Amino acid sequence: EVQLVESGGGLVQPGRSLRLSCATSGFAFDDSAMHWVRQAPGKGLEWVSSISWNSDRLHYADSVRGRFTVSRDNAQNSLYLQMNSLRPEDTAFYYCGKDRLRYFDWAVDSWGQGTLVTVSS
Amino acid sequence: QSALTQPPSASGSPGQSVTISCTGTSSDVGSYNRVSWYQQPPGTAPKLMIYEVSNRPSGVPDRFSGSKSGNTASLTVSGLQPEDEADYYCSSHGGSDRFYVFGTGTKVTVL
């Protein structure tokens, strides 16, 4: 069974940092591109960042470029999102997701349950 | 990064069909057959329903179908059932500028 479990969310003050983790199992993690997608409470889905199977291709939404960094550890079957200089508008549920392909099909066929990040003073 | 445009809501009675549109531009939906559709019931994570415009993952009922014409993609749910009530989102490759873009979302209500 494919499983993705996010962790690391919480309440943080504006300007501070947070690191999200996504632990995976049940599939060939080192053969899959991965994505981070967020959803502000009561709002729609917003793509955040993507990483190819071997980390040679990294992509970011304009809203987070320069502040967020995506990475992965294939030996640990884990995905990460380092979030710096956090802003109130970054408040959202953050989902990690598995792409269908090792590079990108832009189709997330498995999702975690999400972790809530709240940026507030 | 502007989202793809979807109608805010759609509805139908059990057994009827509903079609949701997803309008982008020639730089995203119009240029790539990388359109996906997701179903998200309240309080749950999204679920992939359609990928590459019209392909269904294993386990998705054939009542769900996808298509594309020009800059607009569509999801049709035939034979509506109560469990189809959810928010639906489209997504597409956005090219080198935007990479990945989601739609604004459509709330489907089964009357």
Contact B105 A44 (CB under 8 A): yes
Q: Quote the pLDDT of residue A63.
A: 96
Which residues of chain B have a Cβ shorter than 8 Å from any chain A Cβ?
1, 3, 32, 34, 36, 38, 40, 45-48, 51-52, 57, 89, 91-93, 99-105
CA B28, A97, A20, A61: dihedral to nearest 10 degrees?
0
Residue A87: how many CB atoms within 10 A of its CB? 13
Q: Mean pLDDT throughout A55-59?
A: 95
Q: For residue A8, give both structure tokens.
A: 């690391």
Q: Mean pLDDT throughout A62-67?
A: 97
pLDDT above 90: residue B96: no
User: What is the rounded average pLDDT for all residues in chain B?
Assistant: 95
B95 membership: H or E segment, kind and range: helix B95-98
Q: Is B37 exposed, middle or buried (0-12, 13-18, 19+ CB in 10 A)?
A: buried
**How confident is the model over A67-114, as pLDDT tens digits?**
999 999 999 999 999 999 999 999 999 999 999 988 888 999 999 999
Q: Quote the pLDDT of residue B1.
A: 61
> Cβ of A114 under 8 Å from any chain B Cβ?
yes
Closest CA to B74 of B58, B104, B53: B53
Inter-chain CB pairs, A–B, below 8 Å = 66
Measured between CA atoms, how close is B34 to chain A, in angstroms?
A: 6
Distance CA B14, CA B79 (A): 7
> Cβ of A100 under 8 Å from any chain B Cβ?
yes
Q: How many C-alpha atoms does A103 have within 13 Å on its Cβ side?
A: 5
Q: Quote the pLDDT of residue B64.
A: 98
Q: Mean pLDDT throughout B25-54?
A: 96
pLDDT band per the 50, 70, 90 thresholds, residue B24:
very high
Q: Quote the pLDDT of residue B98.
A: 85
The dihedral region occupied by B98, where left means phi > 0, alpha psi between -120 and 50, and beta the remainder, is alpha
Q: Quote the pLDDT of residue A102.
A: 85
B47-66 burial, b at 16+ Cβ within 10 Å, e below that, comes to bbbbbbbbebbeebeeebbb
> Cβ of A37 under 8 Å from any chain B Cβ?
yes
Measured between CA atoms, how close is B65 to chain A, in angstroms?
A: 15
**Residues of A in Cβ contact (< 8 Å) with B91:** 45, 47, 106-107
Q: Quote the pLDDT of residue B49.
A: 98
Cα B99 to the center of its chain, rounded Å? 18
Contact B105 A45 (CB under 8 A): yes
pLDDT above 70: residue B94: yes
**How confident is the model over A14-37, as pLDDT tens digits?**
999 999 999 999 999 999 999 999
A67 membership: H or E segment, kind and range: none
